[in-house]
A and B are shown apart, each in its own frame.
Chain A
């Protein structure tokens, strides 16, 4: 092994030095950096910022729902005119809060913050590449996201407020400034921000795909890729195929808003005036939106599933059960995610026959999802489980994925969806299966890869407290919403007291709000732990979780280029944990079979000859782009 490195790395060493030593200014190192690790941290920190904004927005509207009679006068310094003279939240601002909460959480936190962080950080490190295929596009991807963030943030300061038509921004509500204050400047900024966001996401996605296809290190076949990479790969593919559709939907909406076209508008009388638009279709927008929107929930979900596959396997000290089935189900989900979108539209007046088709397709997608759950369970069965904070959050993810996924079987069934559509049952469903599950995936990832990101450990005890408060909190917030939804309470309601039929459950709603506030406060533990540990955490050992993947073979603080010497060659899959015969309970990917005679399976012994052949091929890295 060592000899092999010495033979083949003459060139690399030279290159590494070139990398490490050329002087980088603060600006190129931390701001306009092209190093994937720095870009990942930029995404992460921006994502955390947005997560707190999104969380605080939900705390405000939860106060309104849980304590409808409470005076919110004390928020006036923050919200100004959005608090009415009676000391209440303005009903329209309530909708703006809900809308921005949804938009921020789905796109800024769980798409950019999650994929942006872990795709950037893990792809080169786990496939054995020096950086992304194009560091420059990668940098642009972050800065487009940043610009998008700035625009979205600005919309909070408009006099007419930010967009308020729901995160799905259905026209005509979002198209007509006279229908809603938020559909004035706020909506314009929303559309601009989303356009920038889509550009960012496409730049990132194309880069991730290219990198995974082209820059895998020697021996890193697709059948040896860690599941994180598979998941991030498919996430990027889904994003590249679906975001352009949202872009076109947004573009047509811009035309309708600003240039008098009628793509989505028809037969409208509003504000005492009949508009001239005719022939458009409001439903068209919904089809276009959900063509992105449904895949989007998997864009949000798959990285979390990939991350937990890795973490659960590592911490159970067991190979992931059914590696190939896991890949198969990821592929299945990725493909099917494109042909189920209209399950969001069963009661829009869409042809009921279409409803039938989409109901069949939707329930098919439950099968690969179920397979994933069973495989997680089988991975933990007879394991030797270490409850690191990352592992606890992964277990939490699996639990949410089970609990929230099952209610999808209700909503995917058109007939049951009639009473449940747009009620709190839906809010409960997607907050468990998408929001909380992916959030836990993200937190698990942060706890797990923090040592690689910052060279220090986060405090475990604080991590445990954070986990327990958040895990219990999430269940207490979202589980009761099922009951409220079965009772028929509609979502996006400022208050329920207008209706006799919804004039109950005030105690439960108060309970939910208290739970939400506690959960929210618990996140500050994380915030503290995160920033404190960056500077003062215990210095991390090189491979703190005794994990098999390549990132742990880099130095504690990998420089630009990741490995000082040659990139390790990969000889085996990433899940050789607790292999019978082996001394340690893990065998990293870069250890050749020729060194592990005692634990090789019969067919692996046959591979030793091949290893020799492969090692003789000298790869000239100068021909690889990076």
Chain B
């Protein structure tokens, strides 16, 4: 019953609007105001354009300033300082153009609105002016490109030798990380060796794999270069560490990498943000299916000493999954037993 009443009400309102519309347009024709060009609506539109510009420029500055801390994430990596700085330099330059060009647009619209007595200026071109506004943007953009190239090459340069290596693998719908262990070398892998337990497809005929360990969270040391070796197992994913300005796709069949230097430990960030529960998070930014929005992994940035301690306390994966010792070739069995601390029984 209620729905019917609402429905009727809506129809009634629509009918009334329709009638008003019809009456208004007939009146216009009768008055002949539809033929006038210097009409009230021309003036109203002109004024509204100007008003729109003023109000929105004020709103833009107000929101950008008032909410600054909310929409800028604190930065926790060395290269992040560079990208952030470049972002703000670009914002400053484009911001000026944004305001001036829009202001000119709306101001001209208002200022030069139609007058019966007026006549437009016949002004088809002006080569000097055109050259100026081609060359000036070109110069500004060249400077921005130069600056950008410098930062970009710096970020994508070869990672330093001494980088801490972490392997990050994306799959539907989570991340797994693997560390090289004490030998500092990640064991080889092959996707055909993947099974529900050996999720990385680690190849245990490679002796570098014996001490690899697979923790539940990423840990990285503060102040040291960290090299993420990134891969995916099923579809594209993308490693995204918002606070570190790190982003790199994970591609099945094509390992990628990204290296960076964390500058603030989790503890320091908790203090800076005043949030005792703060954690760095790793998210996925490449659409990968149903659970794309939930691929969360916590990343902990430790002071170097703590990191060392944590690293050394981790148990090799093989130790936790001794059945996989059987995959180790005969002649490496002994080494595997020593590394994992398991006595193979035979």
B320 at the interface (CB under 8 A from A): no
* A173:B287 contact, CB within 8 angstroms: yes
| Contact of B271 with A by CB under 8 A | no
Min CB distance, B66 to chain A, in Å?
Answer: 11
Confirm or deny: B330 has a beta carbon within 8 angstroms of a beta carbon on chain A.
no
- Is B234's beta carbon under 8 Å from chain A? yes
Quick one: closest A residue to B292, CB to CB? A492
Interface string of B197-213 (1 = CB under 8 A from A): 00001000000000000
Q: A359–B147 Cα gap in the complex (Å)? A: 11
- A418/B125 in contact, CB under 8 A: no
**A268 touches which of B97, B119, B133, B252 (Cβ 8 Å):** B252
How far is the CB of B27 from the nearest CB of chain A, in Å? Answer: 11
Contacting B109 at CB < 8 Å: which of A272, A359, A380? A380
Are B112 and A316 in contact, with the CB atoms below 8 A? yes
A464 touches B45 (CB 8 A): yes
Asked if B133 contacts A410 (CB within 8 A), the reply is no
Contact flags B213-237 to A (C-beta < 8 A → 1, else 0): 0000000000000000010011110
With a cutoff of 8 Å between Cβ atoms, the chain B residues found around residue A579 in the complex are: 122
Q: Is there a chain B Cβ closer than 8 Å to A387's Cβ?
A: yes
Name A367's contact: one of B112, B137, B248, B254 (CB within 8 Å): B137
Chain A 452-507 interface residues, beta-carbon cutoff 8 Å to B: 459-462, 464, 468, 471-472, 475, 479, 483-484, 486-488, 490-496, 498-502, 504-505
Q: What CA separation (Å) do A281 and B72 show in the bound complex?
A: 36
Q: Are A381 and B71 in contact (CB under 8 A)?
A: no
**A283 and B83 in contact (CB under 8 A), knowing A173-B289, A272-B196, A413-B148?**
no
**Quick check: which of B178-186, B276-284, B308-316, B321-329 contacts chain A, the rest being far away?**
B276-284
Name the distance in Å between A188's Cβ and chain B's nearest Cβ: 18
Q: Which residues of B contact A415 (CB under 8 A)?
A: 82-83, 86, 148, 151-152, 155
Residues of B within 8 A of A272 (CB): 196
Q: Is A575 an interface residue (CB 8 A)?
A: yes
The answer to whether A31 has its CB under 8 Å from any CB of chain B is no
Residue ID in chain A nearest B25 by CB atoms:
A459
A384 to B191, CA, bound (A): 69
With A267-B191, A282-B236, A500-B279 as given contacts, are A492 and B287 in contact (CB-CB < 8 Å)? yes
User: Is A402 a contact of B149 with CB atoms below 8 Å?
Assistant: no
Near A by CB (< 8 A), chain B positions 103-123 give 104-106, 108-109, 112-115, 118-123
A338 at the interface (CB under 8 A from B): no
Q: Which of B254-283 contact A (CB under 8 A)?
A: 254-257, 277-279, 281, 283
* B247, A180: Cβ atoms closer than 8 Å: no
A366 to B145, CA, bound (A): 12
Q: Are A407's CB and B256's CB within 8 A?
A: no
Q: Which residue of B lies closest to A168 (CB)?
A: B287
Q: Are A267 and B25 in contact (CB under 8 A)?
A: no
A136 at the interface (CB under 8 A from B): no
With A349-B251, A384-B115, A495-B293 given, is the CB distance from A318 to B98 under 8 Å?
no
Contact across chains for B37 and A386 when beta carbons are under 8 A apart: yes
Chain B residues, CB < 8 A from A347: 238, 247-249
B86 touches A268 (CB 8 A): no
Judging by beta carbons under 8 Å apart, are B125 and A324 in contact?
A: yes
Which of A199-207, A243-251, A369-377 interfaces with chain B? A369-377
Which residue of the partner chain, among A352, A410, A422, A504, contacts B285 with CB atoms under 8 Å?
A: A422
Is A359 in contact with B145, judged by CB distance below 8 angstroms? yes
Give the residues from 313 to 353 in chain A that come closer than 8 angstroms, CB to CB, to chain B.
316-325, 347-349, 352
B71 and A484 within 8 A (CB): yes
Q: How far, in whole Å, are A418 and B49 apart by their CA atoms in the complex?
A: 36
- Residues of B near A376 (CB, < 8 A) are 105
Contacts of B235 in A (CB 8 A): 172-173, 176, 179, 268, 270
B101: Cβ under 8 A from any A Cβ: yes
Q: For A165, list chain B residues within 8 Å (CB).
A: 287
Number of A residues whose C-beta is below 8 Å from B?
118
Cα–Cα distance between A322 and B133 once the two chains are bound (Å): 12
Question: Is B293 within 8 A of A91, CB to CB?
Answer: yes
B300 in the interface (beta carbon within 8 A):
no
A419 and B242 contacting across the interface, CB-CB below 8 Å: yes
Residues of B within 8 A of A322 (CB): 124-126, 130
A460 partner, pick from B41, B122, B230, B245, beta carbons under 8 A: B41
Q: B125 near A578 (CB under 8 angstroms)?
A: no
Q: Which residues of A have CB within 8 Å of B156?
A: 352, 355
Segment from A119-127, A223-231, A391-399, A555-563 that makes contact with B: A391-399
A524 vs chain B, min Cβ distance (A): 10
A179-B172 contact, Cβ under 8 Å, with A268-B234, A386-B114: yes
Expressed in whole angstroms, the minimum distance between the Cβ of B269 and any Cβ of chain A is 11
Query: Which residues of A are found within 8 Å of B133, using beta-carbon distances?
Result: 370-371, 374
**In the bound complex, do residue A95 and residue B292 qualify as a contact, i.e. CB atoms below 8 Å apart?**
yes
Question: Contacts A272-B196, A500-B278, A501-B243 known; A172 to B120 CB distance under 8 Å?
Answer: no
| Contacting pair A360 B124 (CB below 8 A) | no
Interface of chain A residues 575 through 596 with chain B (CB within 8 A): 575, 577-580, 585
Contact residue among B28, B102, B246, B254 (Cβ-Cβ distance under 8 Å from A266): B254
Given contacts A387-B113, A402-B101, A413-B144, contact A319 B122 (CB under 8 A): yes
Cβ-based interface call for A18 (8 A): no
Asked if B122 and A318 make an inter-chain contact with CB atoms under 8 angstroms apart, the answer reads yes
CA distance A462 to B292 in the complex (A): 43
Interchain CB contact under 8 A, A402 and B130: no
Q: Is the CB of A402 within 8 A of B87?
A: no
Chain A positions within 8 Å of B71 at CB level: 483-484, 486-487, 505
Interface residues of B in 78-98 (CB under 8 A from A): 80, 82-83, 86-87, 90-91, 94, 97-98
Contacts of A240 in B (CB 8 A): none
Within the complex, the shortest CB–CB distance from B241 to chain A, in Å, comes to 10
Asked if residues B98 and A385 are in contact (CB atoms below 8 Å), the reply is no
The chain A residue sitting closest to B72, CB to CB, is A486
Query: Does residue A288 face the partner (Cβ distance < 8 Å to B)?
Result: no
**Contact between A386 and B120, CB atoms less than 8 A apart:** no
Q: Indicate if the CB atoms of A493 and B292 lie closer than 8 Å.
A: yes
**Closest residue to B132 on the A side, CB-wise?**
A374
Indicate if the CB atoms of A578 and B122 lie closer than 8 Å.
yes
Q: Is the Cβ of A282 less than 8 Å from the Cβ of B251?
A: yes
> In the assembly, what is the distance between CA of A316 and CA of B126, in Å?
18
Known A415-B148, A487-B71; judge A268-B291 contact (CB<8 A). Answer: no
Instruction: Say yes or no: A355-B152 contact (C-beta < 8 A), given A386-B42, A538-B34, A579-B122.
Output: yes
A415 to B287, CA, bound (A): 22
Residues of B within 8 A of A173 (CB): 235-236, 287-289
Check if A26 is an interface residue, CB within 8 A of chain B: no
- Assess whether B247 is in contact with A418, with CB atoms less than 8 Å apart: yes
| A487:B296 contact, CB within 8 angstroms | no
Residues of B within 8 A of A413 (CB): 86, 90, 144-145, 148, 152
Q: Which residues of A contact B (CB under 8 A)?
A: 91-92, 95, 165-166, 170, 172-173, 176, 179-180, 265-270, 272, 274, 278-283, 316-325, 347-349, 352, 355-356, 359-360, 363-364, 366-367, 370-371, 373-378, 380-387, 392, 395, 398-399, 402-403, 406-407, 409-410, 413-416, 418-419, 421-423, 459-462, 464, 468, 471-472, 475, 479, 483-484, 486-488, 490-496, 498-502, 504-505, 538, 575, 577-580, 585
15 A-B contact pairs sorted by A residue (CB < 8 Å): A179-B288, A282-B251, A317-B120, A318-B122, A325-B125, A349-B248, A360-B145, A370-B133, A383-B120, A395-B49, A399-B102, A415-B148, A416-B90, A422-B240, A461-B25
User: A402-B98, A475-B56 are known contacts; what are 14 more A-B pairs with Cβ within 8 Å?
Assistant: A318-B122, A320-B124, A323-B124, A349-B255, A359-B149, A366-B141, A370-B134, A409-B144, A410-B91, A421-B247, A493-B292, A499-B296, A501-B73, A505-B71
Lowest 10 A-B CB distances belong to which pairs? A266-B253, A349-B256, A352-B156, A488-B242, A387-B45, A578-B120, A267-B253, A382-B121, A270-B234, A415-B151
